[in-house]
């Protein structure tokens, strides 16, 4: 089946149009890599991998807005390779301490409309490659927050407050994952409701607007 799909819709690079991959090696080399920046007493650390622009933004858009679902494998590989190359000790620590990746949940109504939660399917790819469990059941979104891009900052804060619930099955060691970090409000609000006796890392693929 994969073969037939490939023949009809060949993968072309979002950067240069070359066929073969959604992001070719040459264009990937030009991608801006970020370090960790966000500090919060409740978390052990945060890794933001790339800047949210150019080919990285295009790659995420393919998955999120154009529903090109097989781009997830490539995105998963890019994230995993970046983690293993730049943060090998952290990855090892996560593996040893059995950290569980928790994708930022999407409200079921929006999930039904789109058909999937992109953070969840990317998290599944990453979990497979770096050998970490993924859990999408222990933090749930209970309110369907307004579409973020159209709201102003204050509205956005009100919208997202109390939007999440933690269930009693929350793992001890958590890597909160989201594809894009814009204001960080979503993740900050999730961190607020996580009990103090948990170890938290934040991992995002891309940061920016
Ligand atoms: Zn390219």
pLDDT score recorded for residue 144: 60
Cα of 16 to ligand 1 centre, how many Å? 4
Q: Is the pLDDT of residue 37 over 80?
A: no
pLDDT score recorded for residue 3: 52
Instruction: Tell which CATH classification among 2.60.40, 3.40.50, 1.10.20, 3.90.930 matches the domain 32-207.
Output: 3.40.50
Cα of 5 to ligand 1 centre, how many Å? 21
Per residue in 64-97, pLDDT (tens digit) is 888 788 899 999 999 999 999 999 999 999 999 9
Cα of 83 to ligand 1 centre, how many Å? 22
Look over the chain and give the mean of its residue pLDDT values, rounded to a whole number: 86
Q: Is the pLDDT of residue 11 over 50?
A: yes
List Cα–Cα distances, 201 to 65, 82, 194, in angstroms.
Answer: 27, 16, 12
Residue 154: what are its φ and ψ, rounded to 5°? -65, -50
Cα of 65 to ligand 1 centre, how many Å? 20
pLDDT score recorded for residue 72: 94
What secondary structure does DSSP assign to 16-70, as a single string?
T--BS-SS-HHHHHTSPB-------TT-SEEEEEEESSHHHHHHHHHHHTS--TT
Q: Which of 85, 82, 83, 57 is nearest to 71 (CA)?
A: 57
> In this prediction, what percent of the chain has a pLDDT beyond 90?
60
The stretch 156-160 carries a mean pLDDT of 56
Domain-by-domain residue ranges, the chain? Answer: 32-207
Measure the CA–CA gap between 82 and 50, rounded to whole angstroms.
9
Q: Is the pLDDT of residue 19 over 90?
A: yes
pLDDT score recorded for residue 24: 95
Cα of 26 to ligand 1 centre, how many Å? 6
User: 53 or 40: which carries more pLDDT confidence?
Assistant: 53
Helical spans, DSSP H, in the chain: 2-8, 25-29, 54-64, 71-86, 88-96, 108-114, 118-130, 153-160, 185-193
Region label for 156, one of left (φ > 0), alpha (ψ between -120 and 50) or beta (otherwise)? alpha
Q: Which of 45, 25, 51, 2 is nearest to 200 (CA)?
A: 45
Cα of 199 to ligand 1 centre, how many Å? 38
Q: Is the pLDDT of residue 173 over 80?
A: yes
Cα of 30 to ligand 1 centre, how many Å? 10
pLDDT score recorded for residue 1: 43
The stretch 48-52 carries a mean pLDDT of 93
pLDDT score recorded for residue 89: 92
User: 9 or 103: which carries more pLDDT confidence?
Assistant: 103
Q: How close are the terminal C-alpha atoms of the chain, in Å?
A: 36
Cα of 27 to ligand 1 centre, how many Å? 4
């Amino acid at each position: 089946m994969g073969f037939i799909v490939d023949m009809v819709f060949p993968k072309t690079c979002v950067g240069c149009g070359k066929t073969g991959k959604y992001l070719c090696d040459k264009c990937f080399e030009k991608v801006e890599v970020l370090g960790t920046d966000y500090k919060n007493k409740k978390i052990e650390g945060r890794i933001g991998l790339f800047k949210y622009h150019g080919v990285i933004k295009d790659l995420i858009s393919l998955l999120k807005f154009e529903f090109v679902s097989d781009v997830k494998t490539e995105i998963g590989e890019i994230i995993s390779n970046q983690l293993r190359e730049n943060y090998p000790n952290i990855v090892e620590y996560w593996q040893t301490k059995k950290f569980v990746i928790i994708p930022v949940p999407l409200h079921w109504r929006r999930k039904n409309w789109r058909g999937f939660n992109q953070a969840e399917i990317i998290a599944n790819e990453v979990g497979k490659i770096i050998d970490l469990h993924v859990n999408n059941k222990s933090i749930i979104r209970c309110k369907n927050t307004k579409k973020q891009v159209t709201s102003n900052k204050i509205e956005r804060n009100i919208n997202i407050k109390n939007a999440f619930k933690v269930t009693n099955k929350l793992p001890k060691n958590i890597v909160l994952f989201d594809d894009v970090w814009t204001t960080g409000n979503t993740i900050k609000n999730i961190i607020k409701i996580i009990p103090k006796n948990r170890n938290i890392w934040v991992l995002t693929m891309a940061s920016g607007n």
